[in-house]
Structure 1
Amino acid sequence: MDWLVREVSVSFTGNRYPVHIGWLIVQVLCASLFWLFMYAALCLSMPRFRCEWHCRIVTAVHALIVSALAFLDVFIIGRIPFYHKNQVLPYTELERLIFTASLGYFIFDISWCLYYQTEGPFMLFHHAMSILGLAGTLLMGKCGAEMAATVGGTEVTNPVLQLRWFLREQGFTGTRLMMGVEVLFMVSFGVMRLLLGGALIISYFTNPHTELLGRLAAVVIYGIGVIFYAQLCSYCMHRFRRRAPIVVASNGTAHHHLAQSVSDSSLVAASPAGGAGDSPIVSPAGVATVLSFSASSGDLNRALDTAGSSRKQH
């Protein structure tokens, strides 16, 4: 148990001091309990809503909190990760708070997913990689600015995604409000995940002081974002095709320009494992649910694997 008393270097306003690993574990456990108690309180106070409703509220609250803290860290305090001088540095107290809160949330959320068996292999992989990345950053005691910006950038679009799900649950499907929320999510996701995320990766890879493990983690995180966005583009193509003009056949029967109207549920083509990563073919029912789940973290909490799975109740 000697590793529990090992120390990591934490900086705050230029001064460095040690933090015991055991104390970090206690903080992460407290964060997990905080999210669990919030979920339990929501379940008790709003029993008429199903469990997923409460879990999504917790997801949105977590995303709002860590995004605000990351914005404070990057733009107000000035820990801008695009500059080489701010990379591979010990994390600050604020950044440690961001990491422990997010790590505690992901532990809660992956436990929820395993208990209710709602997610496929890819989303569980996403959560596992998020947990490993945050835990590794806390244990190494460095790369604070980069990880804080990554967490904030991937979580800032999550509340918009949850808003779309809540609107759909309340019957706003097909409205201008829903379309506006979807467009907002598509644009913000592309800007944060692909444009700014790509710029951060370029800066990180051109820094000779960055380590191989950090570069590998950056590639994995960015790769997940690219796959998510590809799924979102498939969703947009599906929506566009559904709005194609109606053609009247010679027998007077109206047909869709691309295909006859068929129930989405009959077009689900989930892979045997139920994950989206197992098949390049995305079913209409799966694509229609892509914007309903955030990963997370990364993004984004539960979007990707639902493109190939219809196990959740919608």
Structure 2
Amino acid sequence: MTLMVVGVVLCLSGWISLYTLLCNINGSRGYEWNCRLVTLVHGIMAVCITAYIGYIDGPWPFTYPGTKNTPLQITALALSLGYFLFDMGWCVYFQTEGPVMLAHHTISILGIMLTLGLGESGIESCSVLFGSEVTNPLLQTRWFLRQTGRYDSALGDAVDVVFVLLFVLMRVVVGGFMLYCELASPRPMIVIKCGGVAMYTMSWVFMVDIVRFTLKKSRNWGRRRGEQRPPVMVNGHDGKTD
């Protein structure tokens, strides 16, 4: 347990150091820009490590929930716990996020701490981490496109479409099946199962916002197509009044 605490502290220090370094060498971009760069780095690292754990190192999360944590699982969870602690502190200090995102961070922190403390169910936690972080690079890319004035473009539309599809697939469909396997298995502790329900509930809270965003985006697409459509000619005129 002492080694795990030390590992988490080192990971937290590493994320803080990366953020400080980015602020020093990229100070003109502002604090949020550099924080989102840290978030992007964490998202890519978390997805790569947890994908390796789930698909190669094992065990298969849908078949063997509730198993003992492996060293690689502990490393991945400690790395992400350090990041979530850093990002939670940053969000609270700068007051940039609402209660939903803060609740998501809180559940993530408590869930990882519980998994590390109990010494089991690391494979489920890594799977949840993979599903929640796989859309993160797209989310950050969308923000960077907006900041650089390139969001209202084909690239911005593609990022939005892939993000929505990937979110629905991974966090709602696959996440729902993962929760079913978790609840149906006798191995995971009841507190772990409750944590799984909490995380899946948060996914549906985000899903409501995504549905609203999709409807708004669809209306914007329709408006943009209407603006690009050539004027209808009526008696040799475009129909506009003088």
Match of 1:158 among 121, 130, 136: 136
Alignment partner, residue 112 of structure 1: 90
The partner residue of 2:99 within 111, 114, 121 is: 121
Give secondary structure in 1 for the equivalent of 2:28. coil
- Give the letter for the 1:130 counterpart: S
Task: Map 1:260-299 to 2 at 5 A.
Answer: none
Per-residue CA deviation, residues 93-118 of structure 1 (Å, 9 max, x unaligned), is: 11001110010001100111111121
Per-residue Cα deviation, 1:33-62 (whole angstroms, up to 9, x for no partner): 000000000000111101000000100100
- Equivalent of residue 44 in structure 1, options 24, 31, 38: 24
Report if aligned partners of 2:85, 2:109 keep a CA contact under 8 Å in 1: yes
Measure, in 1, the Cα distance between the counterparts of 2:187 and 2:28. 54
Question: Could you tell me how far apart the structure 1 residues matched to 2:180 and 2:80 are?
Answer: 25
- Which aligned pairs between 1:1-314 and structure 2 lie closer than 5 A? 21-83=1-63, 86-242=64-220, 243-244=222-223
Identity of aligned residues (%): 34
The residue aligned with 2:231 is none
Deviates more, 1:137-146 or 1:72-81: 72-81
Deviation track 1:149-204 (CA, whole Å, cap 9, x = no partner) reads: 11111111100110111111111122001000100101111111011101111111
Which letter does structure 2 place at the counterpart of 1:48?
S
Query: Contact between 2:84 and 2:105, CA under 8 Å: does it hold in 1?
Result: yes
Shift of 1:237: 0.7
Shift of 1:209: 2.5
Q: 2:131, 2:171 within 8 Å by CA — same for their partners in 1?
A: yes
* Long gaps (5+) in structure 2: 228-239
Q: 4+ residue stretches of structure 1 with deviation over 6 A?
A: none
Equivalent position SS for 2:145: helix
What is the DSSP-based 3-state SS (H/G/I as helix, E as strand, rest coil) of the residue aligned with 1:48?
helix
Question: 2:23 and 2:68 mapped to 1: Cα distance?
Answer: 39
Q: Which residue identity is paired with 1:189?
A: F
TM-score by length of 2: 0.90
Aligned length: 226
Measure how far apart 1:241 and its partner are. 2.6
- Aligned partners of 2:152 and 2:182: how far apart in 1? 41
> How far does the alpha carbon of each residue in 1:227-274 deviate from its partner, in whole angstroms, 9 at most, with x for none?
11121110111122343568xxxxx89xxxxxxxxxxxxxxxxxxxxx
Residue ranges of structure 1 left out of the alignment (5+ in a row)? 1-20, 247-251, 254-314
Shift of 1:122: 2.2
2:236 alignment partner in structure 1: none
Distance 2:59 2:143 in 1: 33
Equivalents in 2 of 1:41, 1:136: separation in Å?
31
AA paired with 1:26?
V
Task: Measure how far apart 1:76 and its partner are.
Answer: 1.2
2:67–2:187 contact (8 Å) kept in structure 1: no
Cα RMSD after superposing both structures: 1.4
CA distance in 1, matches of 2:140, 2:151: 14
In 1, Cα distance between equivalents of 2:166 and 2:218:
20
Structure 1 or 2: more helix by fraction: 2
